Amino acid sequence: MKIDILTIFPKVALAPLSESIVGRAVAEGKVDLGVHDLRDWAVDKHRRVDDEPYGGGPGMVMKPEPFFAAVRELRGGGDAKVVLMTPQGRRFEQAMARGYSAAGGHLIILCGHYEGVDHRVVEALVDDEVSIGDYVLTNGAVAAAVFVDALVRLLPGALGDERSSEEESFAEGEALIEAPCYTRPPEFEGMVVPEVLLSGHHGRIREWRHERSVERTRANRPDLLGGQRG
């Protein structure tokens, strides 16, 4: 899988993607990751990538020219899917992460900033608009890092143990969040690990974990069960 991120804050995107699971996946060649400064494709000597919005209003709008030039160069005559990180996009969920990860290929991720991106970029370049949640961040590089992390960790071999992605919250076919987990010591400051987890009885453990998953989902994410938070 090849991923290119276009942003005016490359260090913001690159820092979290250089560590841990994603960092190892890049080092091992499981993903080809490039983080690029959009200003490198600016068309004036001041490397300007924004301007005032037509029609008035606060803030600045990102100009179309750098995006068009960058996407054309990064595509290099090949196929690539272009994703814009924006609060106006489809809400990012685990099923979408699985779909993008399984599809592989070449992704070019555009990061919005300021008041938004000139809509001609959306009309002519973008294949998908994605939002990581119903809130607004200071820049799209943070959202791009979240998006890429969720995709890369699902690539074959990225997690080391493939069961990790099958048994976590929002695993395929499950509308439940993960059950509580524990490790040594068995007792800490008067709090003990549930006896069933120490029993070695795998059937009882599976049943306990399912029950706790339902309880936690009902308490924290009742929308996943079709209910309302009480």
pLDDT score at 170:
60
CA dihedral of 199, 201, 205, 207, whole degrees rounded to 10: -130
Structure tokens at 74: 């990064």
The answer to whether the beta carbons of residues 39 and 143 sit under 8 Å apart is no
CA dihedral of 214, 218, 219, 222, whole degrees rounded to 10: 140
The answer to whether the beta carbons of residues 26 and 53 sit under 8 Å apart is no
Would you give the end-to-end CA distance of the chain in angstroms?
Answer: 43
Q: Can you list the positions of beta strands (E) in 132-201? A: 187-188, 191-192
Q: Where are the domains of the chain?
A: 2-152, 167-225
Its CATH class, for the domain covering 2-152, is alpha beta
pTM for the model stands at 0.87
Structure tokens at 87: 């609060």
What is the rounded distance in angstroms from the CA atom of residue 5 to the CA atom of residue 188? 44
- Residue/partner pairs of 117-124 with CB below 8 Å, 24 or more apart: 117/61, 117/62, 117/64, 117/67, 117/84, 117/86, 118/61, 118/62, 118/63, 118/64, 118/67, 120/64, 121/62, 121/64, 121/67, 121/68, 121/84, 122/84, 124/68
Q: Quickly name the fold that domain 167-225 has.
A: Trp Operon Repressor; Chain A (1.10.1270)
Structure tokens at 210: 């399912």
**How does pLDDT run along the chain (230 residues), one tens digit per residue?**
999 999 999 999 999 999 999 999 999 999 999 999 999 999 899 999 999 999 999 999 999 999 999 999 999 989 999 999 999 999 999 999 999 999 999 999 999 988 899 999 999 999 999 999 999 998 999 999 999 999 999 999 998 655 554 555 565 556 789 999 999 999 999 999 999 999 999 999 999 999 999 999 999 999 989 855 44
What is the rounded distance in angstroms from the CA atom of residue 110 to the CA atom of residue 126? 9
pLDDT score at 230:
42
The answer to whether the beta carbons of residues 22 and 155 sit under 8 Å apart is no
What is the rounded distance in angstroms from the CA atom of residue 99 to the CA atom of residue 126? 18
pLDDT score at 174:
65
